[in-house]
């Protein structure tokens, strides 16, 4: 047998085994509560975007954008339909940007609000993305890099299948510390989360935020992230979509004023500058005190989200888009904020 034929036969056999395994996993191992929540959430947001007419503002990022930006306030200030497309960092930046492409139309403005962890780390592909694609978006496999296909085919283990067969479906455990159930039903008409209420918090959640690790200042934006952003910005120029960037909401820490962190933030400013993407505001404008947070260092509660969005609206109106007259803009913005 010729070597080329042997190699082709071997690769074909491996591909067939991988496909069979993937189908077995899909039929025997149902999607986790987290994957179902992400799917329902993204479907809800895409429907909201599709229903909005005219030039829109789309906020794109991971869960920090989902919890941390109030597009109702942006819409009240700008008069343009504004949709929160924030997803889940476990999908990876490339997939989140793909989702944005699917929602955007010519004339739209996209505001990137991407958490530092998503810019810094690339696991190709993340486990949540593998599970998500397996159950909800197999068409993505045709676009995936060939070297990533084995990760998708074999994302789960025989132990997972055996556990599912012996114990049954996994419980619906998509809860935050047993108190808040994540559901698409808690997403408002403009794609914003509504469960992160400050009046429902307790010391347990805030202590979880306080003890969470801070940024690692030695990290640089990952090269795959740079490539994904560059491709997205190039696409947007051709598609007639304007791209802006802003800083993600984050728990404030006095250490972030140290030289190592200032260089860290400067590296991210330089990344957007290289791509020709204007950055709205400063990292400090997106930093919030502990009582303004919800359950992670990137997830504000509704009071923190209002404070962060108010600063973003000021920058957006001063530097990027025409807005309502200052007095009307302030009143419209305040009308969307939760009570103090």
Residues 29 and 330: their CA atoms lie apart, in Å, by 50
Helix, strand or coil for residue 84?
A: strand
The domains of the chain, with CATH numbers, are 31-125+169-335 (3.40.50.1110)
Q: Measuring CA to CA, which residue among 29, 15, 16 is closest to residue 156? A: 29
β-partners of residue 193 are: 187
Query: Which residues lie closer than 8 Å to 117 by C-beta, 6 or more apart?
Result: 89, 298
Helix, strand or coil for residue 70?
A: coil
Give the pLDDT confidence of 116-130 residue by residue, as tens digits: 999 987 767 888 998
CA 310 to chain centre: 20
Using a 10 angstrom Cβ sphere, with 0-12 exposed, 13-18 middle and 19 or more buried, the burial of residue 132 is buried
Is residue 279 within 8 Å of residue 269, measured between CB atoms? yes
Q: Measuring CA to CA, which residue among 173, 192, 180 is closest to residue 86? A: 192
Q: Measuring CA to CA, which residue among 205, 218, 312 is closest to residue 260? A: 218
Q: In this predicted structure, what is the pLDDT of residue 20?
A: 66
Residues 216 and 222: their CA atoms lie apart, in Å, by 13
Residues 335 and 73: their CA atoms lie apart, in Å, by 8
Phi, psi of 169 (to 5 degrees): -60, 145
- The number of C-alpha atoms within 13 Å of 197 and in the hemisphere containing its C-beta is 11
Residues 104 and 316: their CA atoms lie apart, in Å, by 19
Is residue 48 within 8 Å of residue 101, measured between CB atoms? no
DSSP-derived secondary structure letter, 193: B
Dihedral sign for Cα 246, 224, 230, 242, please. Answer: negative
The Cα diameter of the chain in Å comes to 80
Phi, psi of 12 (to 5 degrees): -65, -40
Is residue 316 within 8 Å of residue 285, measured between CB atoms? no
Q: Which residues of the chain have pLDDT under 50?
A: 329-335, 339-340
Is residue 264 within 8 Å of residue 296, measured between CB atoms? no
Q: How far apart are the first and last CA of the chain?
A: 77
Is residue 268 within 8 Å of residue 262, measured between CB atoms? no
């Amino acid at each position: 047998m010729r070597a080329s034929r042997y190699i082709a036969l071997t690769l074909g056999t491996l591909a067939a085994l991988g496909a069979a395994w993937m189908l077995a996993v899909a039929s025997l191992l149902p999607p986790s509560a987290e994957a179902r929540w992400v799917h329902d959430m993204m479907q809800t947001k895409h429907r909201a975007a599709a229903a909005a007419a005219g030039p829109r503002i789309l906020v794109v990022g991971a869960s920090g954008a989902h919890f941390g930006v109030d597009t109702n306030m942006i819409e009240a200030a700008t008069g343009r339909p504004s949709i929160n497309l924030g997803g889940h960092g476990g999908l990876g930046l490339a997939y989140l940007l793909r989702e944005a492409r699917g929602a955007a139309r010519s004339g739209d403005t996209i505001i990137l609000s991407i958490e530092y962890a998503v810019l810094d780390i690339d696991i190709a592909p993340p486990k949540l993305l593998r599970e998500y694609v397996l159950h909800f978006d197999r068409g993505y496999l045709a676009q995936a890099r060939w070297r990533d296909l084995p990760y998708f085919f074999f994302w789960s283990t025989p132990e997972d299948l055996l556990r599912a067969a012996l114990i049954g479906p996994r419980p619906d455990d998509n809860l935050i510390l047993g108190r808040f159930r994540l559901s698409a039903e808690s997403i408002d008409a403009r794609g914003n989360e509504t469960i992160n209420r400050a009046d429902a918090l307790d010391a347990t959640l805030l202590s979880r935020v306080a003890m969470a690790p801070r940024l690692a200042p030695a990290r640089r934006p990952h090269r795959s992230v740079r490539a994904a952003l560059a491709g997205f910005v190039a696409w947007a120029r051709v598609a007639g979509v304007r791209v802006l960037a802003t800083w993600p909401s984050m728990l404030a820490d006095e250490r972030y004023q140290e030289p190592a962190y200032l260089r860290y933030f400067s590296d991210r400013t330089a990344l957007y500058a290289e791509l020709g993407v204007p950055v709205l505001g400063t990292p400090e404008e997106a930093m919030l005190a502990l009582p303004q947070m919800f359950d992670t260092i990137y997830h504000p509660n509704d009071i923190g989200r209002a404070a962060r969005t108010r600063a973003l609206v000021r920058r957006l109106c001063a530097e990027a888009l025409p807005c309502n007259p200052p007095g009307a803009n302030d009143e419209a913005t305040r009308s969307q904020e939760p009570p103090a």
